């Protein structure tokens, strides 16, 4: 029970200082809306919402979580406020969990905008709401952990943003966001299945129109394994680079 007190205080502090700022909230609303508008302008006609729905949701989560956390961690490391947290009498696993929870919640918030627009305005069918929510949560977690892994290695905010782009933009084309993995050239498909976002998008596709390549249970198991691996790898790097 005592561990919940520092967890809650760190989370509330991050939400007030970073995530609940008006520019961030408005960016979380405008970004997915702009992507949907771009798709409409590109086609100049009605488009199949089922094809772009998973991609828009995944893009909103991916860019929202990675952009915010990479800035947060790098900025606090530079200002040495993160080092003060490392001196606190709490486990490092709890500290890291409290720092990434804000970004995860921000990613989930970002996803609600394209979901509401797609369902209420474009009348997109949702075959399974449970797996839609599960896919969004896992995408938020895995994207946040990817940002954490990058942020540990960066010393400046611009470095973290630059490093993030090295894996964010390839994921747009390789993870089935807008082009299904089955439609990619065979040479690129093995690379797609190395990227964790692929499995999150596959769960989203199953929840919308069942055009997934893998079973949802298998995707969730793989996502869980990726989450645990990235979480403890980030903690290992924090101990190695920031403590020892």
* Residue of 40, 210, 234, 190 whose CA lies nearest to 118: 40
Say whether pLDDT at 133 is over 80.
yes
Confidence check: pLDDT of 39 > 80: no
pLDDT given for residue 208 in this prediction:
85
Does residue 18 have a pLDDT over 90?
no
Confidence of residue 124 (pLDDT cuts 50, 70, 90): confident
pLDDT at position 83 is 67
Report the b/e string of 156-174 with b at 16+ CB within 10 A. ebeebbebbeebbeebbeb
Percent of the chain with pLDDT over 70: 82
**Least confident window among 80-84, 114-118, 122-126, 149-153:** 80-84
pLDDT per residue over 207-244, tens digit each?
988 778 889 999 999 999 999 999 999 888 887 776 54
154 in Cβ contact with 160 (< 8 Å): yes
**CA-wise closest residue to 76 among 51, 55, 54, 95:** 95
Give pLDDT, residue 226: 94
Q: Mind listing the pLDDT tens digit for each residue in 61-97?
A: 888 888 778 777 777 777 777 667 766 677 888 888 8
Q: Would the pLDDT of 35 be above 60?
A: yes
Q: Which long-range contacts (CB under 8 A, 24 or more apart) does 161-169 make?
A: 161/67, 161/70, 161/71, 163/70, 164/66, 164/67, 164/70, 167/195, 168/62, 168/63, 168/66
Q: How confident is the model at residue 164 (pLDDT cuts 50, 70, 90)?
A: confident
Q: How far apart are CA 181 and CA 203, in angstroms?
A: 13
Is the pLDDT score of 46 beyond 60?
no
- The percent of residues above 90 in pLDDT, for the chain, comes to 20
Residue 26: its pLDDT value, please?
65
Question: What pLDDT, on the 0 to 100 scale, is given for residue 130?
Answer: 93
User: Beta-carbon neighbour count of residue 184 at 10 Å?
Assistant: 16
pLDDT at 176 over 80: yes
């Amino acid at each position: 029970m005592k561990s919940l007190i520092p967890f809650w205080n760190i989370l509330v502090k991050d939400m007030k200082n970073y995530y609940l700022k008006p520019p961030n909230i408005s960016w979380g609303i405008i970004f997915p809306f702009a992507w949907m508008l771009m798709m409409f302008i590109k086609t100049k006609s009605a488009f199949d919402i089922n094809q772009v729905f998973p991609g828009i949701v995944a893009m909103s989560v991916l860019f929202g979580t990675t952009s915010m956390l990479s800035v947060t961690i790098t900025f606090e490391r530079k200002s040495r406020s993160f080092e003060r947290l490392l001196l606190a009498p709490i486990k490092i696993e709890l500290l890291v969990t409290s720092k990434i929870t804000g970004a995860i919640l921000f990613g989930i918030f970002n996803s609600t905008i394209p979901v509401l627009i797609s369902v209420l305005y474009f009348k997109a069918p949702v075959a399974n709401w449970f797996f839609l929510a599960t896919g969004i949560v896992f995408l938020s977690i895995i994207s946040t952990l990817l940002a954490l892994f990058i942020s540990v290695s960066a010393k400046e905010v611009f470095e973290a943003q630059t490093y993030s782009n090295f894996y964010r933009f390839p994921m747009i084309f390789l993870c089935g966001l807008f082009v299904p993995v089955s439609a990619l050239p065979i040479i690129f498909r093995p690379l797609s299945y190395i990227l964790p976002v692929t499995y999150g998008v596959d769960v989203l596709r199953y929840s919308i129109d069942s055009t997934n390549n893998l079973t949802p249970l298998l995707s969730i198991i793989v996502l869980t394994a990726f989450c645990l691996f990235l979480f403890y790898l980030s903690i290992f790097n924090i101990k190695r680079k920031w403590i020892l």
